[in-house]
C-alpha cells in the first residue's frame, strides 16, 4: 500500500478515478437524498483537465481511494474524499486524510459534505475538523462546512 500523488491527466488514471468517484458519490447521494451531486457529473476529460491535486491510496497497482485538494493563499480546500465502496471500512479514507493533515502545515483545512453523510462527518470530526456553517443548497439538501485550524 502506498499513498501517492496521482497523474490524473493520464486517461487510464482518470478512468480509475472516475470509476471510484461515481461509485463513492452514488453512496453519498443516497445518504443525503440528493442525486445531483457535482462529482457525479464529471467525465474522464473533466478529471484530466482538473487543477486539483489528486492523492491516491494505491494497493497492488489499483487505486482504492482518492483525496483531492487545492492549496489557496489562506487555506487548503479539500474537494473530494472518495473510497471504492468495495473497500469501505478499511481505513482508506482515514489514511488519505491523515496524509494531508500530516503533510500540510500552517494553513487551515476546509471541507464540506452533505449533512446526512454521517460517515464523512464522523471522519472529519475525528481529525479535529469543526463545523463552521451549514447551508441549504437545494430544498431539503444541506451542506455542512468544516474547518481544521
pLDDT tens-digit readout, 78-102: 999 999 999 999 999 999 999 999 9
The neighbouring-strand residues paired with 101 are none
Average pLDDT of span 12-19:
98
Q: 130 φ, ψ to 5°?
A: -125, 140
Q: pLDDT tens digit string along 35-74?
A: 888 889 999 999 999 999 999 999 999 999 999 999 999 9
Would the pLDDT of 104 be above 90? Answer: no
- In the sheet that holds 130-138, the strands lie side by side as 2-5, 53-59, 62-71, 76-83, 109-114, 141-148, 130-138
- 59 forms beta bridges with 62
Q: What was the pLDDT predicted at 139?
A: 84
Q: What is the DSSP string of 86-137?
A: GGTTSSHHHHHHHHHHHH--SS-EEEEEETT-HHHHHHHHHTT-EEEEEEEE
Contact yes or no for 8/48 (Cβ under 8 A): yes
Q: Round to whole Å and give the CA distance between 48 and 9.
A: 4
Could you tell me which CATH number the domain at 2-148 has? 3.40.630.30
Q: pLDDT averaged over the chain?
A: 94
Are 55 and 99 within 8 A, CB to CB?
yes
Note the pLDDT of residue 31.
Answer: 87
Helix (H) or strand (E) holding 60: none
> CB neighbours of 70 closer than 8 A, spacing ≥ 6?
51, 52, 53, 76, 77, 79
Amino acid at each position: 500500500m502506498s499513498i501517492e500523488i496521482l497523474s490524473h491527466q493520464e486517461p487510464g488514471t482518470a478512468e480509475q478515478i472516475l470509476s471510484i468517484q461515481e461509485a463513492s458519490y452514488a453512496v453519498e447521494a443516497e445518504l443525503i437524498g440528493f442525486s445531483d451531486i457535482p462529482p457525479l457529473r464529471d467525465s474522464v476529460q473533466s478529471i484530466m483537465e482538473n487543477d486539483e491535486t489528486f492523492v491516491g491510496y494505491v494497493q497492488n497497482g489499483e487505486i482504492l481511494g482518492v483525496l483531492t485538494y487545492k492549496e489557496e493563499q489562506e487555506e487548503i480546500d479539500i474537494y473530494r474524499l472518495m473510497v471504492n465502496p468495495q473497500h469501505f471500512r478499511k481505513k482508506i479514507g482515514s489514511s488519505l486524510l491523515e496524509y494531508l493533515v500530516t503533510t500540510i502545515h500552517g494553513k487551515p483545512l476546509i471541507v464540506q459534505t452533505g449533512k446526512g453523510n454521517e460517515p464523512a462527518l464522523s471522519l472529519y470530526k475525528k481529525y479535529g475538523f469543526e463545523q463552521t456553517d451549514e447551508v441549504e443548497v437545494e430544498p431539503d439538501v444541506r451542506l455542512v462546512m468544516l474547518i481544521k485550524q
